Amino acid sequence: FCIFFVCFCRYAAVPDRCTGIEFDAITPDDKGNALFFKDGHIWKGFHGPAQLSSEHFKELTGHVDAAFRMHNTGNPDDHDHIYLFMGDKVFSYFNQSLEEGYPKQIQEDFPGVPAHLDAAVECPKGECIADSVLFFKGQDVYVYDITTKTVKTKAWSHLPSCTSIFRWLEHYYCFHGHNFTRFHPVTGEVVGEYPKDTRNYFMRCPNFGHGSNHKPVKCSEVKLDAATTDDTGRTYFFSGSSYMRQDTHRDGFHNFPIIRGWKEVTNGVDAVFSYTNKIYLIKGDQIYIYKADAHFTLIEGYPKTVKEELGIEGHVDAAFVCPTENVAHIFQGNRMRDVDLTATPRIIVQDRPLPLSDIDAGLCGADGIKLFKGSQYYSYESPMILAMGRIAPRPAHITSAMMACED
């Protein structure tokens, strides 16, 4: 009975985030997995049970005050390291291993930043004025410039008291209780109607929406409509009314409705390509061109017809533009039509038959070309080899390593 009782107590002590708890800290790890901390436990990702923090960070023995992943591309010795704060100490980890010389006093690494923090978050240049870390304590925010190692203090009394902060796909979220509030990282301005329940968005919980409703499709059932990689290296896969986006390996894939990124486009797309910091979305006989900034902005005068913009008539199956090239490769049936994007008006400069037909999506990157058809794809080294080919290569199967699907 005593043994049973001890085991029962240990089991009962494991927290369940779906009951509505307040997180101590949240940060992505160096591989893009979201880590949620509560007392001596941690959740890895948006679903699954809690585990002991010491299973991931063996030196941790309890409550974590704050955590963030460092963004410092100018210093590879710091970039992608995970910083955890406990009392007046800071721990630096890489690949779940504690760095030599840690833990340290917070002031040694971050002069001007107080002890016993509430929250912290990385803020890269472009989202903040300079590469920075935002430290929160009460209503005060300490903006730490990682280059100059200087601190500016702000008071954001309009924000709730944040027990953790999470930067997710260029947006910033203050977590308080089991709710969260999105805010601007420079002004602290609340963006939208908040607070919202964390269980509807950042985890999968029974009887809650958003995160609980999205389930990865099996890789054998993938059916893409379009794909592209923009000038910053972000990759997008479009399917139906949704798209998956991966910023880098650090952030993993995330699923959103298309109208969240491109509000003027509804009911899916037929083809997409990126060129000169713009993203071109083709739907039916219309083409929408957006500036590919932090928030996509439709260029004035669009949509236009595909014929007017590209000189192409008829349904477009797929499209891609290779990095450093000025040609859009447009797929229609079993033909590839190349459009010179530097010409005015734009014209078809080459029209070739292919040993493939009805391609779903095309993607071109440093590793060559992938043409997707159903749950398979065909690889080519270059557009020239693709255009000259007379026999289709053997297809390969889409895997979970390529996109957010289940093998």
The whole-number mean pLDDT for each consecutive block of 10 residues of the chain, a chain of 407 residues, reads: 40 76 92 89 88 88 92 86 95 92 95 97 93 96 96 94 91 94 94 87 75 65 94 89 76 74 90 96 97 84 96 96 96 97 94 95 94 96 92 92 80
Res 213: pLDDT: 47
Could you tell me the CATH number of the domain that includes residue 251? 2.110.10.10
Shared domain for 203 and 330, answered yes or no, is: no
Residues 6+ apart with CB under 8 A from 153: 140, 141, 142, 143
Q: Is residue 7 part of a domain?
A: no
Tell whether 403 is covered by a domain. no
Asked if residue 332 belongs to a domain, the reply is yes
Residue 341's Cβ-count burial label (10 Å; 0-12, 13-18, 19+) is middle
What span, in angstroms and rounded, lies between the C-alpha atoms of 133 and 151? 10
Alpha carbon 90 to its chain's center: 27
Q: Are strands 271-275 and 278-283 parallel, antiparallel or unpaired?
A: antiparallel
Does the residue 404 lie in any domain? no
Instruction: Using the 3D structure, point to which of 181, 197, 212 is the last residue of a domain.
Output: 212
User: Residues annotated as binding site?
Assistant: 210, 254
Beta strands in 71-225 (DSSP E): 82-86, 89-94, 97-98, 104-105, 119-123, 132-137, 140-145, 150-155, 164-168, 171-176, 179-183, 196-197
| Binding site members for heme | 210, 254
Number of H helices, E strands in the chain: 5, 34
125 and 262 belong to one structural domain: no
For position 369, what pLDDT does the model report? Answer: 97
Alpha helices in 128-215 (DSSP H): none
Tokens of 396: 């390969």
Whether 139 and 76 map to the same domain: the answer is yes
Residue 355, sorted as left (phi over 0), alpha (psi -120 to 50) or beta, turns out to be alpha
Domain end, chosen from 212, 235, 268, is at 212
> Is 292 in the same domain as 194?
no
Whether residue 1 lies inside any domain: the answer is no
> In this predicted structure, what is the pLDDT of residue 8?
36
Residues 171 and 203 in one domain: yes
Domain shared by 188 and 272, yes or no? no
| 290 and 147 in a common domain | no
Q: Is the dihedral of CA 269, 275, 279, 285 positive or negative?
A: negative
The residue whose two tokens read 């957006």 is 290
Rounded to 10 degrees, what is the CA torsion of 247, 245, 281, 385? Answer: 70
**pTM score of the predicted model:** 0.63
pLDDT the model gives residue 121: 97
State whether 146 and 193 are in the same domain: yes
Could you tell me the residue range of the domain that residue 393 belongs to? 219-397
Residue 93 burial by Cβ neighbours in a 10 Å radius (0-12, 13-18, 19+)? buried
- Token pair 């979220």 is found at 173
Alpha carbon distance 125, 178 (integer Å): 30
The answer on 161 and 27 residing in a single domain is: yes
Number of domains in the chain: 2
Residue 380 lies in a domain: yes
